[in-house]
Structure 1
Amino acid sequence: MPRRRIGFWYRFAAVLCKPWLVVLIKRDWRGMEHIPAEGGFITAVNHNSHVDPFAYAHFQYNSGRVPRFLAKSGLFTHGFVGAAMRGTGQIPVYRESTDALSAFRAAIDAVERGECVAFYPEGTLTRDPDGWPMTAKTGAARVALQTRCPVIPVAQWGANELLPPYARKPRLLPRKTHHVLAGPPVDLARFYGHEMTPELLKEATEVIMAAVTAQLEEIRGEKAPDRPYDPRRERIEQRRRTQAETGAETGVEISHEGENSK
């Protein structure tokens, strides 16, 4: 299937953004040969800075296969932002849908038209204290299994040094390097032809994220934690710690009350 033309809006965005990106960050980009030249595919990318969508889009733009990012459907309906989102071919996600597959219908359509759909499977900035990918949502796996398209794992590092997660001010000096490493397609063949149960989607998602994490290990030259950071698990453990601390404090107070009553 032929690739879609980049179009006016994407070229306009590139004219606005690329000069700033070139000035602010150096580039260490590898693995561009794994980006398919034709046909629809998914890239699964880690997310560790509010700047990295722009930095990563620069990498993809230079590959000749521009990414179509997923965004809330409400952003597509109003004013200049809506026009830009539509014009650059970004992908609306219909979170109000009660059917999980329908929520990603535009992403499926885009892949089937021969587009590159860029997923941040984590869904938000990683909350791992050391910047490793955390547990992910299953949207990328769902679209991949529905379309059987290639899934390219992509790791990036460096935009987070320019603007750390949740920081308000960038660290401009010294000039940072944006590292990108794209890997070969993730093998998901063993999941094809099966019912997309929550368990199967979770397993496929873990395979995708393991490939992304392996790419990041190569960039960073160090080993990721054996178990990815899980915000849900962390919240549960934090509640347990809080309850334990509260229980200990209550026990001390009761003891004191008992002593005072003597």
Structure 2
Amino acid sequence: MTVRKLQQPRGWAFSFAVPIVKPLLLATTRRDWHGGEKLPVSGGFVLVLNHVSHVDPLLAAHLLYDHGRLPRYLAKSGLFRNRLLAFFLRGAGQIPVHRASSSAVGAYDAAVEAVRRGECVVVYPEGTITRDPDLWPMRGKTGAARIALATGCPVVPVGQWGAQELLAPYAKVPHLVPRKRISMLVGDPVDLSDLAGRPDQRGGRAAAVQQATDRIMAAITGLVEQVRGEQAPPERFDMRRGGAQADEHHQDRKDTA
């Protein structure tokens, strides 16, 4: 497991959080990380992961921090309603996303600018914790692809598994004992070079964004298959078609968690 020293200033928010959060993660998880050397040492890039638990962002931050990078997240705007939490999140450089509003465009612009400044922007392309009954990656949203095509930056996929044992999907009470194994496999950057600069006419740009999104989700799913040692379903779960059934399934999981 490659470990790198942090090169960039971590700021007051990370200086406050790291001494608290990192020892807690080390006490409750066992790291099974592979491919960390594929994370760029410098320069802007987008990190994309599958989403299985509300604790995922902390674990991704742990992976990045121990490889010398700081994460910038596209965070749900609801997290910023608490003034104290909002003060901390902004201090850590996190980007609020107001869904289904004009502010979502501002979040996209902020993410693009962060990448151009040489930062790592973390995106969960599914947009929410997976609703797939077996926790496989769902159909992805296009945000990560649009950021990548706008900037030409690398898109580095990660397949992760184990966070759901620490905190089950949509549960509120974590299971801290015994320590949970967190498997993270970093893959090669997703090749989107042939899609960059696609003309925005006759749906060309929209098609390029969708193709890029499909490649990103395929890369993530392939990595998840490796860390799970299983094969994913041939068709990814689509919330637009199966959301109600998934809501019922995950409510059952929450009730028994």
TM-score in terms of structure 2 length: 0.85
Task: Note if 1:137 corresponds to 2:121.
Answer: no
* Cα distance, 1:228–1:96 mapped onto 2, change above 3 Å: closer
Deviations 1:46-70 (A, max 9, x none): 1101112112211111111111111
Letter paired with 1:220: R
Aligned residue in 2 for 1:249: none
Q: Structure 1 residue 186 and structure 2 residue 190: aligned?
A: yes
Hey, what's the Cα distance between the residues in 2 that align with 1:147 and 1:85?
Answer: 24
Preserved CA contact (<8 Å) 2:95 2:107: no
Q: Are 1:213 and 2:217 an aligned pair?
A: no
Q: Counterpart of 1:5? A: 9
> Which residue of 2 is the match for residue 222 of structure 1?
230
Task: Report if aligned partners of 1:76, 1:82 keep a CA contact under 8 Å in 2.
Answer: yes
- Give the aligned residue type for 1:70: L
Give a deviation string over 1:110-150, Cα, whole Å, max 9, x none. Answer: 00000000001111000111111101110000000000100
Are residue 50 (structure 1) and residue 58 (structure 2) matched? no
Q: Counterpart of 1:124?
A: 128
Code of the residue aligned with 1:24 in structure 2: it is: T
Give CA-to-partner distance per residue, 1:165-211, whole Å, 9 cap, x none. 12233333332101111111100011111136333222210100100
Instruction: State the Cα distance separating 1:83 from its structure 2 match.
Output: 1.5
Q: Indicate the SS of the match to 2:214.
A: helix
1:197 and 2:187 correspond: no
8 Å Cα contact 1:93/1:106 also seen in 2: no
CA shift for structure 1 position 237: 8.8
Once superposed, what is the RMSD of the aligned Cα atoms?
2.2
- Shift in CA distance, 170/117, structure 1 to aligned 2, threshold 3 Å: same
Paired residues, number: 236
Q: Does residue 40 of structure 2 align to residue 29 of structure 1? A: no
Whether the 8 Å CA contact 1:70–1:91 is kept in 2: the answer is yes
Contact 2:46 / 2:122 at 8 angstroms: preserved in 1?
A: yes
- In structure 2, give the amino acid aligned to 1:35: L
**Cα contact 2:166–2:175 (8 A) shared by 1:** yes
Superposed structure 1 runs of 4+ greater than 3 Å apart: 72-78, 94-103, 235-238
Superposition pairs of residues 1-262 of structure 1, within 5 angstroms: 4-73=8-77, 75-76=79-80, 79-95=83-99, 97-98=101-102, 101-194=105-198, 195=200, 197-235=205-243
d(CA) in 1 for partners of 2:31, 2:140: 27
SS at structure 2 position matched to 1:190: coil
State the Cα distance separating 1:103 from its structure 2 match.
4.1
The CA deviation string for residues 75-103 of structure 1, in whole angstroms up to 9 with x for no partner, is 55763212211111112335465497544
Which consecutive residues of structure 2, in runs of 5 or more, have no partner in the other structure? 1-6, 247-257
State the SS of the aligned residue for 1:189.
coil
Q: What is the CA–CA distance in structure 2 between the aligned matches of 1:50 and 1:100, rounded to whole Å?
A: 21
Tell me if the contact between 1:4 and 1:114 (Cα under 8 Å) persists in the aligned partners: no
For residues 158 and 144 of structure 1, the distance between their equivalents in structure 2, rounded to whole angstroms, comes to 28
Cα distance in 2, alignment partners of residues 74 and 114 from structure 1: 27
Counterpart of 1:128 in 2: which secondary structure?
A: coil
Unaligned runs of 5+ in 1: 239-262
Q: Percent identity?
A: 51
* Residue aligned with 1:83, SS: helix
Q: Partners of 1:77 and 1:171 in 2: how far apart?
A: 27
- Aligned equivalents of 1:150 and 1:78: distance in 2? 34
- Residue of structure 2 equivalent to 1:254: none
**Which of structures 1 and 2 has the bigger CA Rg?**
1
